[in-house]
Amino acid sequence: GQNIDQPTEMTATEGAIVQINCTYQTSGFNGLFWYQQHAGEAPTFLSYNVLDGLEEKGRFSSFLSRSKGYSYLLLKELQMKDSASYLCAVKGGATNKLIFGTGTLLAVQP
């Protein structure tokens, strides 16, 4: 089967750095995605990792270790607008669909 775990909630301070972890178990692996979702809105794509290592995109970076079934999303120089849910999703399994974690609700405080 497939399973994705991420923390339910996190709190961080404006200007700081926060790391959101995601662990997964899947039969077959074709990549890991991070999405951002503001309250009442659709998820929007943030990053994609298929090989081990760090992918950097501006203030956001995502890391993958396939052998450990582990990823993290790193947000630097936090802004109030970064308050949102962050969804970890793994593509794999028999049907190669995206399977989503339940999301991490990040609250950025002044």
Partner 1 sequence: DVKVTQSSRYLVKRTGEKVFLECVQDMDHENMFWYRQDPGLGLRLIYFSYDVKMKEKGDIPEGYSVSREKKERFSLILESASTNQTSMYLCASSLTGGASGYTFGSGTRLTVV
Asked whether position 96 contacts partner 1 by CB under 8 A, the answer is yes
Locus of tokens 């979702």: 37
Among 43, 64, 82, 108, binds partner 1 (CB under 8 A): 43
Asked whether position 103 contacts partner 1 by CB under 8 A, the answer is yes
Among 26, 48, 55, 61, binds partner 1 (CB under 8 A): 48
- How does DSSP assign 48-101, residue by residue? EE-SSEEEEETTEEEEEETTTTEEEEEE-S--GGG-EEEEEEEEETTTTEEEE-
What residues line the site for partner 1 (CB under 8 A)?
A: 30-31, 33, 35, 40-45, 48, 50, 87, 91, 95-98, 100-103
